[in-house]
């Protein structure tokens, strides 16, 4: 920015903590075009003053030295097309958390102002992008979820395309007679909505349906997906703006359930087999064609089981109750008994459980099924532990295994690894490489041909899997945020769920899809930096094709050309800056967040000489958790060490290691990175930012060794958003460690 004005608030104890005139000196040294103080900058009078400066003096860079950037955001918003605002935190980081009227405190305040001025000099206004955006929503999968989603898309004003691999629409519900209720009083089964839903979709002119179709390729990016599909012989292509993947789930392979008798008798069937018979109106034992007198349902068949599916499929308890009710209604002479581990009918489904028990005079027991054996024309189900006693056997004509569901997903990462390994074998560059690649191919072979979306993404052709093959979001608060922008999972593909939940999920996923299209049309990013209009800039002339950015981007934003040079797809980008942190050549930048800007901050303040015994510490704090937590600690007037200069970053993954080098070469004594937890229960809003930072800091340790610097000088600490009492502790402890290390020997070089 060209004309920078500094506006200092003296309220909130700032003027008691620091000498304002020294701040003015620092501002003048940096050629600030204006220096204004106000005793309450956020009140209308203060804002008016700033606005006046902007209007009268043509200020385009406003440095507000006051409270945390998280406070008074609306007040300190000026025309974003003309003005960049830089917040220097004199309140939380100085006035509230340091000794007032103290030399260290004063030096800190001055340094922070200089850092702010340095940064604002290096940032630019964003130019919002204007791209051609398709307003069509692609729905992959034409079952209950997909059909609901397509209809909702149209109701939201967006045309939809459905691609269904079978020859007819309807999916799993085509085989069903009744469904679990979603309306009160919840105590009986509900009518299957799929027939009407199919009709509605087929009659809707805004929905284009391709059945018997598969996607050959999905090229491009959200807003500009070019989808090539094949149905029948012909290849077609559609342009879509966002994708809802609703490919559903399939029943677990019962042939693996030999311990439950599947395969040893034709009278041991799955709940899916049973459903088809109920729908057909003819319920007989497959073994002998007779109508059964009794059916025993075995719940959790192959679910909640270490040797099969570890998770619970959520709907089988409800489905079995539904089937018991349907049978009671349509085949009233058949007695149904249910063996469960737990009856999972949460929420209002409890009324369904109760209603079915009552209307069908249900027979249910908890029990561990030990063995299922053929007996006469039926089976003996042996329970080793049950509410009916230890060691009991139940005689029955038909056994129904309530099997769980397996999502129809494709493991994008695994397929990519498989393909890359195959390429390495072809390339044949070294024997060991080929040997390793061959082993990898062997272990990943089962992913062959499983592609669904066939994304033309360097990181893989499908959504990355989260856990147990579900491409879910990792976030409780943001359940639709899959790792591919503009592609949302819905229904049983998304998570184990029943039909009422799938209908709800369809609406949610479609809303996100439409939101993505609308955001792109406005030139804005989506979650978590919703509204961000900036895009990354790649200075490719200096790219060395190291491929770190391509690999480390959590969202697969970057493709690769033949040489390995990254191709940036703006509309896939979430603006996290992890690529910026990865690039060893520092060629990536965002208008308001560049390597140079932060490097300038590091170089902006004076590093005292060794004799002054005033160490200097850089603290890179993630703006999503560590910094807010620190704000909270400051609000409670918790104090921490004044040697620490804080730089807020978008994500620890957006920390470039050159900043470590710059800090150390300046004589700064220590660098600490504070951010979110990594690991299986990661809290990083960009998936792997803190994980990457941790790895990179590991590499930094090697550099430290070479420079004969103590490894303790660079540290990464993880904490959670609510651990406000820990952040000051972490900073103080680090300051102590640095003190013990002694001054950086490179000071004064």
Partner 1 sequence: MNTMTKQPILVVGAGITGVSAALEAAETGCDVILVEREPAIGGRVLRNHNYFPKLCPPACGMEINTRRLERNSRVRVLTNTRVTEANAGADGWSVKLASAPAYVNDRCTGCGECAKVCPAKVPDPHNLGMNETTAIRSPHVDAWPTTYTLDRSACPADCKACVEACKYEAIDLNASAKDETVSASSVVVATGWHPYPLEKLTELGGGELKNVIANVNMERMVAPTGPTEGKILKPSNGEPPKKVAFVQCAGSRDVNHLPYCSAVCCLASLKQAIYVREQLPEAEVTIYYIDRRAPGRNEDVLTRVAEMDGVKLVKGKVGKIEQGQGDGLKLRLEDVEAGQIVETEADMVVLATGMVSNLVNGDLPMNLTKDEDNFGLDSLEQKVIVAGVARRPEDVAACVRDATGAAAKSVIAARRA
Partner 2 sequence: MASNVLISSTSFREALAKKGGVTAARCYQCATCSSVCELAPEGLPFPRRQMINAQWGLADKVAADPAVWLCHQCNDCTVRCPRDAKPGDVMQTIRALAVENLSTPKFLGKLVGAAGSTWPLLIGLPFVFWIAFIYAVNGFTVPEAPLAWHDFVPHWMIYAVYIPVTLWVVIAILVSGSRYWNLMGQGVTRSGSFVGNLIPAIKEILAHKRFSDCEAARPRKTGHLLFLWGFIGAAITTALIIVAMYGFKTPLPLPQTHWMKWIGNFSALLLLFGGLMLLANRMKGGQSAGASTAFDTFFLFVAFMVGLTGILTEGGRLAFPPQIAAWMYVAHLSFILCLFATFPYCKFAHMVYRTLAMVHERMTGVASR
| Closer Cβ to partner 1, 72 or 696, answer by number | 72
List 131, 722, 736, 742, residue binding partner 1 (CB under 8 A): 722
List 129, 337, 425, 741, residue binding partner 2 (CB under 8 A): 337
Question: For 725-747, b where at least 16 C-beta lie within 10 A, e where not — what string?
Answer: ebbbebbebbbebbbebebbeeb
The site for partner 1, by CB under 8 A, has a size of 96
- Considering CB distances under 5 to 8 angstroms, the limit depending on partner class, which of partner 1, partner 2, none binds residue 517? partner 1
Residues 726, 672 contacting (CB under 8 angstroms): no
- Answer yes or no whether residue 341 interacts with partner 2 by CB under 8 A: no
CA torsion angle 429 430 435 438 (round to 10) = 0
Radius of gyration of the chain from Cα atoms?
31
Spatial distance between the Cα atoms of 320 and 298, rounded to a whole number of angstroms: 9
| Closer Cβ to partner 1, 550 or 624, answer by number | 624
Which 3-state string (H, E, C) describes 177-228?
CEECCCCCCCCCCEECCHHHHHHHHHHCCCEEEECCEEEEEEEEECCEEEEE
Q: The tokens of 23 are what?
A: 């701040």
- Answer yes or no whether residue 264 interacts with partner 2 by CB under 8 A: no
**In whole angstroms, how close is the CB of 388 to partner 2 at the nearest point?**
6
| Closer Cβ to partner 2, 188 or 354, answer by number | 354
List 357, 533, 624, 656, residue binding partner 2 (CB under 8 A): 357
- Answer yes or no whether residue 387 interacts with partner 1 by CB under 8 A: yes
- Answer yes or no whether residue 259 interacts with partner 2 by CB under 8 A: no
| Closer Cβ to partner 1, 281 or 347, answer by number | 347
For residue 45, count CB atoms less than 10 angstroms from its CB and return exposed for 0-12, middle for 13-18, buried for 19 or more.
Answer: exposed
Considering only the stretches 229-237, 311-319, 357-365, 505-513, report the one whose residues sit in contact with partner 2 under the rule CB under 8 A.
Answer: 357-365
- Answer yes or no whether residue 16 interacts with partner 1 by CB under 8 A: no
**In whole angstroms, how close is the CB of 177 to partner 2 at the nearest point?**
23
Site string for partner 1, 342-371 (x = CB under 8 A): xxxxxxxxxx--x-----------x-----
Q: The tokens of 125 are what?
A: 């206004």
Site string for partner 2, 371-390 (x = CB under 8 A): --x-x----x-x----xxx-
Considering only the stretches 189-197, 359-367, 442-450, 481-489, report the one whose residues sit in contact with partner 2 under the rule CB under 8 A.
Answer: 359-367
273-276 long-range contacts, Cβ below 8 Å, gap at least 24?
273/400, 274/323, 274/400, 275/175, 275/176, 275/177, 275/319, 275/323, 276/175
Number of C-alpha atoms within 13 angstroms, CB side, residue 646?
Answer: 27
Instruction: Calculate helix-pair angle for 349-360, 316-330, nearest 10 degrees.
Output: 30
SS3 (DSSP) at 143: coil
| Closer Cβ to partner 1, 73 or 699, answer by number | 73
**In whole angstroms, how close is the CB of 362 to partner 2 at the nearest point?**
6
In this structure, the strands spanning 234-240 and 224-231 are antiparallel
Residues 724, 632 contacting (CB under 8 angstroms): yes
H helix intervals, 636-718: 657-666, 689-706
Give, as ranges, the residues between 590 and 629 that touch partner 1 (CB under 8 A): 624-625, 628
- Considering CB distances under 5 to 8 angstroms, the limit depending on partner class, which of partner 1, partner 2, none binds residue 348? partner 1
Residues 598, 119 contacting (CB under 8 angstroms): yes
- Considering CB distances under 5 to 8 angstroms, the limit depending on partner class, which of partner 1, partner 2, none binds residue 504? partner 1
For 251-292, give the DSSP string.
E--GGG-GGGTBTTBTTEEEHHHHHHHHHHT----TTT-PPP
- Considering CB distances under 5 to 8 angstroms, the limit depending on partner class, which of partner 1, partner 2, none binds residue 111? none
| Closer Cβ to partner 2, 377 or 393, answer by number | 393
Write the CA distances from 540 to 535, 536, 546, integer angstroms. Answer: 15, 12, 12
Give, as ranges, the residues between 145 and 174 that touch partner 2 (CB under 8 A): none
For residue 419, count CB atoms less than 10 angstroms from its CB and return exposed for 0-12, middle for 13-18, buried for 19 or more.
Answer: middle
Spatial distance between the Cα atoms of 540 and 343, rounded to a whole number of angstroms: 59
Give, as ranges, the residues between 297 and 336 that touch partner 2 (CB under 8 A): 335
| Closer Cβ to partner 2, 353 or 620, answer by number | 353
- Answer yes or no whether residue 392 interacts with partner 2 by CB under 8 A: yes
Considering only the stretches 216-224, 303-311, 322-330, 597-605, report the one whose residues sit in contact with partner 1 under the rule CB under 8 A.
Answer: 303-311
**In whole angstroms, how close is the CB of 357 to partner 2 at the nearest point?**
5
- Considering CB distances under 5 to 8 angstroms, the limit depending on partner class, which of partner 1, partner 2, none binds residue 357? partner 2
- Answer yes or no whether residue 384 interacts with partner 1 by CB under 8 A: no
Q: The tokens of 464 are what?
A: 């990355």
- Answer yes or no whether residue 130 interacts with partner 1 by CB under 8 A: no
Question: For 475-492, b where at least 16 C-beta lie within 10 A, e where not — what string?
Answer: eeeebbbbbbbbbbbbbb
Spatial distance between the Cα atoms of 312 and 468, rounded to a whole number of angstroms: 11
- Answer yes or no whether residue 236 interacts with partner 2 by CB under 8 A: no
- Answer yes or no whether residue 366 interacts with partner 2 by CB under 8 A: yes
- Answer yes or no whether residue 13 interacts with partner 1 by CB under 8 A: yes
Considering only the stretches 154-162, 211-219, 406-414, 654-662, report the one whose residues sit in contact with partner 1 under the rule CB under 8 A.
Answer: 154-162
Give, as ranges, the residues between 70 and 99 that touch partner 1 (CB under 8 A): 70-74
Residues that bind partner 2 (CB under 8 A): 335, 337, 343, 353-354, 357-358, 360-366, 373, 375, 380, 382, 387-389, 391-395
């Amino acid at each position: 920015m060209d004309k920078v004005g500094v506006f200092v608030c003296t309220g909130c104890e700032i003027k008691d903590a620091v000498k304002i005139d020294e701040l003015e000196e620092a501002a003048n040294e940096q050629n600030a075009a204006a220096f204004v103080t106000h005793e309450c900058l956020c009140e209308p009078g203060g804002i008016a003053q700033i606005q006046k400066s902007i209007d009268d003096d043509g200020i385009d860079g406003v440095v507000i030295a006051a409270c945390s950037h998280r406070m008074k955001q609306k007040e300190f918003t000026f025309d974003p097309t003309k003005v960049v605002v830089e917040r220097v935190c004199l309140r939380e980081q100085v006035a509230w958390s340091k000794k007032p009227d103290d030399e260290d405190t004063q030096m800190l305040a001055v340094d922070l102002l200089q850092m702010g001025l340095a940064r604002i000099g290096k940032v630019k206004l964003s130019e919002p992008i204007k791209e051609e955006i398709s307003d069509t929503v692609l729905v992959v999968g034409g079952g209950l979820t997909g059909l609901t989603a397509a209809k909702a898309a149209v109701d939201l004003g967006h045309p939809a395309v459905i691609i269904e691999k079978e020859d007819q629409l309807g999916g799993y519900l085509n085989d069903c007679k009744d469904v679990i209720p979603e309306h009160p009083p919840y105590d009986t089964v509900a009518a299957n909505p799929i027939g009407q839903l199919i009709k509605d979709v087929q009659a809707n002119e805004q929905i284009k349906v391709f059945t018997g179709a598969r996607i050959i390729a999905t090229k491009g990016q959200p807003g500009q997906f070019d989808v090539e599909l094949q149905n029948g012989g012909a290849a077609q292509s559609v342009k879509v703006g966002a994708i809802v993947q609703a490919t559903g789930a399939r029943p677990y392979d019962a042939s693996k359930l030999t311990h439950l008798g599947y395969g040893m008798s034709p009278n041991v069937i799955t709940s899916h087999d049973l459903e088809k018979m109920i729908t057909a109106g003819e319920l007989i034992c497959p073994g002998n064609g007779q109508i059964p007198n009794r059916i025993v349902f075995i719940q959790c068949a192959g679910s909640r089981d270490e040797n099969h599916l570890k998770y619970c499929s959520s709907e089988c308890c409800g489905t079995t109750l539904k089937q018991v009710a349907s049978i009671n209604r349509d085949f009233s002479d058949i007695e149904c008994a249910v063996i469960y581990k737990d009856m999972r009918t949460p929420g209002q489904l409890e009324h369904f459980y109760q209603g079915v028990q009552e209307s069908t005079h249900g027979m249910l027991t908890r029990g561990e099924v030990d063995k299922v054996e053929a007996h006469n024309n039926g089976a003996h189900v042996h329970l080793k532990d049950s509410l009916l006693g230890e060691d009991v056997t139940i005689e029955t004509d038909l056994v129904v295994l309530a099997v769980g569901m397996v999502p129809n997903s494709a493991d994008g990462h695994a397929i990519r690894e498989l393909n890359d390994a195959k390429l390495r074998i072809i390339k044949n560059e070294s024997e060991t490489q080929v040997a390793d690649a061959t082993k990898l191919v062997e272990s990943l072979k089962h992913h062959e041909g499983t592609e669904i979306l066939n994304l033309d993404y360097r990181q893989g052709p499908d959504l990355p899997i989260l856990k147990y093959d579900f491409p879910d979001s990792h976030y409780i608060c943001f359940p639709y945020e899959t790792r591919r922008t503009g592609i949302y999972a819905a229904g049983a593909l998304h998570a184990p769920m029943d039909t009422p939940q799938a209908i709800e999920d369809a609406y949610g996923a479609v809303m996100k899809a439409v939101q993505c299209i609308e955001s792109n049309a406005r030139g804005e990013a989506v979650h978590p930096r919703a509204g961000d209009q900036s895009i990354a800039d790649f200075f490719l002339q200096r790219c060395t094709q190291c491929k770190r950015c391509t690999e480390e981007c959590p969202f697969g934003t970057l493709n690769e050309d033949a040489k390995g040079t990254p191709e940036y797809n703006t509309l896939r980008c979430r603006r996290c800056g992890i690529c910026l942190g990865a690039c060893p050549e520092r060629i990536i930048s965002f208008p308001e967040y560049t390597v140079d800007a932060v490097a300038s901050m590091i170089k902006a303040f004076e590093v005292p000489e060794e004799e002054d015994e005033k160490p200097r510490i850089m603290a890179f704090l993630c703006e999503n958790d560590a910094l807010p937590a620190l704000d909270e600690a400051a609000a409670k007037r918790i104090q921490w060490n004044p040697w620490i200069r804080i730089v807020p970053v978008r994500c620890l993954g957006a920390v470039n290691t050159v900043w470590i080098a710059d800090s150390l070469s300046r004589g700064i004594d220590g660098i600490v990175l504070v951010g979110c937890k990594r690991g299986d229960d990661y809290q990083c809003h960009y998936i792997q930012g803190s994980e990457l930072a941790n790895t990179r800091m590991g590499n930094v340790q090697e550099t430290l060794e070479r420079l004969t610097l103590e490894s303790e000088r660079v540290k990464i600490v993880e904490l959670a958003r609510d651990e406000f009492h820990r952040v000051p502790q972490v900073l103080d402890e680090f300051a102590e460690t640095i003190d013990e290390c002694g001054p950086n020997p490179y000071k004064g070089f």
